[in-house]
Amino acid sequence: MTKETKKTRPSPPPSVDDSSMTRESWKIFQVIAEFVEGYERLVSVRPAVSLFGSSRTDPAHPFYKLAHDIGLALSDAGFSVVTGGGPGIMEAANKGAYEGKSLSIGLNIELPEIEPPNAYQDISLRFRHFFTRKIMFVKYASAYVVAPGGYGTLDELCEILALIQTGKTRRIPVVIVNKGFWSGFTDWLETTLIEANMIAKSHLDLFTVVETPEEVVSAIESFYKERKIDPCEHSTQFLSNI
């Protein structure tokens, strides 16, 4: 077979009895349903802060208390708190927000290993797909708070940084918590990536690193005060083109 014939050879038409094609097509409706439910149930939660962190953190660990206190501080400051709805740091932040003055929200994900929603959610949504869930995290967020975590937390942190860096979403405060835990990551950005010209030095300004719940709230409020922007109005600007 020559390159020319390979390029022009048509694909065989799908069989009407191909059950795998039918299943794939129906998944589109599952995705649409997740978006519709998310939009309808979260439209009134603004201003909101999406908070990320490990599902493995034990309630006796200091990071659990830190996340609880951050959730409470944000809730009392008037921010709904949105997490992945699972255990660990997500549970701690939901619990703090649940005890506070604003809404506690969980965007739960179906996983092969059952991870039941934590008990501290005023609004609880369940997703089959990570990508629809991620859009819900960004769509209604006036800020991102990133506590200590693993692969999932790194994924969510890097995604929002990439969206802001490329102009695909509005600029929002990205607040990383605990300098000691994140020092390896921030050092890698400041040395390896910048020295290799993989990111610009100005891209380090896309996030700030803090230690305490009070500093988390202050970083978010200062961001909007300096820019004279209402966080509720800012969150309606959503993603421009993803």
Structure letter (DSSP) for residue 166: T
Amino acid 237: pLDDT? 57
Report d(CA 138, CA 169) in Å as an integer.
9
Distance from C-alpha of 118 to C-alpha of 108, rounded to nearest angstrom: 9
Q: For position 197, what pLDDT does the model report?
A: 97
Structure tokens at 104: 């506690």
Q: Which whole-number Å values give the CA distances from 90 to 98, 129, 148, 173, 229, in the listed order? A: 12, 18, 11, 19, 28
CA distance linking residue 27 with residue 132, whole number of Å: 12
The answer to whether the CB of 211 falls within 8 A of the CB of 178 is yes
Quote the pLDDT of residue 116. 85
Residue from 225, 189, 224, 185 nearest 205 by CA: 189
Cα–Cα dist 204/80, whole Å = 27
Ramachandran class of 124: left when φ > 0, alpha when ψ lies in -120 to 50, beta otherwise: beta
Token reading at 235: 């969150």
Taking the model in full, what pTM does it have?
0.86
Q: Identify the pLDDT of residue 56.
A: 96
Domains present along the chain, CATH in parentheses? 30-235 (3.40.50.450)
Name the strands in the sheet holding 141-146, side by side, starting at the edge strand that comes first in the sequence.
123-127, 104-109, 80-83, 48-52, 141-146, 174-177, 208-210
Low-confidence ranges of the chain (pLDDT < 70): 1-22, 233-242
On whether the CB atoms of residues 126 and 94 are closer than 8 A, the answer is no
